[in-house]
């Protein structure tokens, strides 16, 4: 405490505490109070998202899941479900993915593996799996057409091979609980949805990776309310690539994956495409139902985000700078203003609001992820670290004049000209909104 007092006295002696005084209140005090109100607003947004997401998830579990078969038998057989899994150089995960899928308790299912130009034994393992089980089908891609991103093209080819009434696009590193797909289809039928995305339960092997993923989850949660996805006045869309479930009828009304052929943020781009087609949409938590083993380490995540961190910022330097400045200013609120202010009442107010915000984040992440005890003490520092990942992505893309992804190079000019998702907060462009209203 003495060191804090000493630091504050030094700042006061330097005149910092009295710069631009308004009456007896200085700029630092005003910033301290505003920071406190910002924390309260963020806490409210965090709590609203968490409450909405889990009130929706509760409908897919426990009481709702007790008599799934009986409730659906009254209205007919289970609809045919097709699962599309694009994979490139995933020989180490593809067999485990197949075994996980075979355990799913869904009676009418087909699984399409898409080998996207793999250099390892991925394709050979897919063929072996398909030969041993009639539920599986293997599709092989030898060459990538011009002006297509590899994964989007693999998704496009995979969907073309399906015959189900419902289609699920997912990845080879996603694992499902036994009844998860019955719950998902039942939830869509019960709520008359055409499109459902699920936020997966992340399995992270290291503390640093877990906290970075926790930060990304939390940041995304500040931008939309799951309960408002279908409100006409609330044009936010969201898609999580680990689980994109949609009705074939609505897909056939859309522009199709060719419309997204150069979209790096393909999962939310897909949600945008579904929205434009008039889909009724939903999002729920996949805690204990859908598990994703994403990156093996923090270093690999930083490498993986090279391709899309700049894309989320619209390949725009001003957006990157604005995002970085905003994030670091929030961190200054965590640390600087309460220390610099001369008044303990102002500092107490700001720090109390910060505590409320941190408790809201802690509650959210404990419910979304298997967060480690006491880990929230480090959470504020990831506000400082994450912008460096975005800046790195932007610098590398501009230095190379494009991105390298899945063995191919794409110029920034190409990517900008064909980008569908336009805003970092995932809302529609005005042009898209007008097109939607006219359709």
Pairing mode of beta strands 408-411, 402-405: antiparallel
Angstrom CA distances, 135 to 80, 102, 104, 130, 277, stand at 12, 9, 12, 7, 30
Higher local confidence (pLDDT), 17 or 293 = 293
Burial of 425 (0-12, 13-18, 19+ CB in 10 A): exposed
Decide if pLDDT at 434 tops 70. no
Strand partners, 82: 110, 167
- 272's CB contacts (< 8 A; 6+ apart) are 237, 239, 420, 421, 428, 432
Decide if pLDDT at 106 tops 60. yes
Alpha carbons within 13 angstroms on the beta-carbon side of residue 175 total 16
Angstrom CA distances, 332 to 12, 37, 44, 325, 337, stand at 18, 14, 20, 10, 7
Question: Where are the chain's structural domains?
Answer: 9-45+309-438, 55-296
Strand partners, 245: 168, 196
**Considering the chain, what is the average pLDDT of its residues?**
80
The token pair at 287 is 């805690």
The token pair at 302 is 């930083």
Three-class DSSP category at 289: strand
Contact 201, 290 (CB under 8 A): yes
DSSP at 157 = H
Decide if pLDDT at 351 tops 80. yes
Alpha carbons within 13 angstroms on the beta-carbon side of residue 128 total 10
In degrees and rounded to multiples of 5, residue 239 shows phi and psi of -140, 140
Output the CA angle 85-90-91, nearest 5 degrees. Answer: 115
- Helix, strand counts (H, E) of the chain: 17, 10
Give residue 233's pLDDT. Answer: 59
Cα–Cα distance between 267 and 251 in angstroms, integer? 14
Decide if pLDDT at 374 tops 80. no
pLDDT tens per residue across span 231-258: 655 667 788 899 999 999 999 999 999 9
Mean pLDDT of 349-362: 88
H helix intervals, 341-375 = 344-368
What one-character-per-residue DSSP string does 84-108 give? EEEESS-TTTHHHHHHHHHT---SS
Give residue 397's pLDDT. Answer: 93
Tokens 């992340």 found at? 202
Higher local confidence (pLDDT), 381 or 16 = 381
pLDDT tens per residue across span 316-346: 899 899 888 888 877 776 667 667 777 788 8
Q: Which of 42, 44, 50 is nearest to 330 (CA)?
A: 42
Contact 341, 32 (CB under 8 A): yes
Distance of CA 100 to the CA centre of its chain: 23
Output the CA angle 286-292-293, nearest 5 degrees. Answer: 155
Decide if pLDDT at 70 tops 50. no
Decide if pLDDT at 314 tops 90. no
Q: Which of 269, 308, 299 is nearest to 396 (CA)?
A: 308
Decide if pLDDT at 383 tops 60. yes
* Sign of the dihedral defined by the CA atoms of residues 273, 278, 279, 282, in that order: positive
Tally of CB atoms within 10 A around 409: 11
Alpha carbons within 13 angstroms on the beta-carbon side of residue 78 total 18
Q: Which of 177, 164, 200, 199 is nearest to 82 (CA)?
A: 164
pLDDT tens per residue across span 52-66: 777 665 555 444 444
Cα–Cα distance between 335 and 380 in angstroms, integer? 9
Q: What percent of the chain has pLDDT over 90?
A: 31
Tokens 């929230």 found at? 376
Q: Which of 39, 427, 45, 421 is nearest to 222 (CA)?
A: 45
Largest CA distance in the chain: 81
Superfamily of chain region 55-296: Spore Coat Polysaccharide Biosynthesis Protein SpsA; Chain A (3.90.550.10)
pLDDT tens per residue across span 109-157: 999 999 999 999 999 999 999 999 999 999 999 999 988 999 999 999 9
Q: Which of 126, 57, 61 is nearest to 94 (CA)?
A: 126
- Please give the radius of gyration of the chain, using alpha carbons only, rounded to the nearest integer: 24
Higher local confidence (pLDDT), 83 or 69 = 83
Three-class DSSP category at 377: helix
Model-wide pTM > 0.85: no
H helix intervals, 205-313 = 207-221, 248-253, 266-276, 298-304, 309-312
pLDDT tens per residue across span 416-430: 888 887 654 344 443
For the chain, what's the residue count? 439
């Amino acid at each position: 405490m003495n060191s804090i007092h000493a630091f504050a006295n030094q700042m006061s002696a330097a005149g910092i505490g009295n710069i631009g005084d308004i009456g007896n209140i200085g700029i630092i005090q005003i910033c301290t109070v505003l920071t406190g109100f910002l924390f309260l607003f963020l806490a409210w947004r965090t709590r609203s998202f968490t409450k909405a997401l889990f009130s929706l998830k509760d409908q897919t579990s426990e009481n709702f899941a007790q008599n799934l078969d009986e409730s659906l038998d009254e209205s007919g057989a289970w609809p045919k479900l097709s699962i599309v899994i694009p994979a490139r150089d995933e020989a180490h995960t593809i067999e485990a993915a197949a075994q996980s899928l075979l355990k799913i308790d869904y009676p009418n299912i087909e699984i399409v593996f898409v080998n996207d130009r793999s250099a390892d034994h991925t394709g050979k393992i897919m063929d072996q799996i398909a030969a041993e089980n009639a539920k599986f089908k293997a599709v092989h891609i030898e060459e990538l057409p011009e002006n297509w991103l590899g994964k989007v093209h693999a998704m496009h080819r995979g969907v073309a091979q399906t015959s189900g009434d419902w289609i699920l696009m997912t990845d080879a590193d996603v694992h499902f609980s036994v009844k998860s797909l019955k719950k998902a289809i039942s939830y869509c039928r019960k709520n008359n949805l055409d499109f459902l995305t699920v936020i997966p339960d992340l399995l992270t092997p290291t503390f640093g990776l877990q906290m970075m993923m926790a930060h990304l989850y939390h940041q995304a949660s500040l931008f939309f309310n799951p309960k408002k996805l279908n409100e006409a006045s609330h044009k936010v869309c969201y898609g999580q690539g680990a689980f994109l479930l949609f009705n074939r009828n609505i897909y056939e009304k859309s522009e199709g994956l060719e419309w997204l052929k150069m979209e790096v943020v393909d999962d939310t781009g897909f949600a945008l495409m579904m929205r434009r087609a008039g889909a009724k949409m939903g999002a729920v938590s996949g805690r204990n139902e859908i598990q994703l083993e994403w990156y093996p380490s923090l270093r690999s995540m930083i490498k993986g985000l090279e391709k899309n961190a700049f894309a989320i910022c619209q390949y725009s330097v001003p957006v990157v700078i604005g995002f970085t400045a905003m994030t670091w200013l929030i961190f200054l609120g965590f640390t600087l203003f309460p220390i610099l202010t001369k008044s303990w009442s102002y500092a107490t107010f700001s720090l109390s609001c910060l505590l409320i915000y941190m408790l809201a984040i802690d509650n959210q992440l404990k419910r979304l992820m298997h967060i480690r005890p006491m880990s929230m003490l480090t959470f504020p520092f990831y506000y400082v670290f994450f912008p460096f990942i975005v800046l790195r992505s932007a610098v590398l893309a501009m230095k190379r004049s494009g991105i390298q992804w899945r063995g191919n190079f794409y110029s920034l000019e190409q990517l900008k000209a064909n980008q569908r998702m336009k805003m970092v907060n995932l809302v529609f462009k005005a042009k898209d909104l007008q097109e939607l209203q006219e359709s």
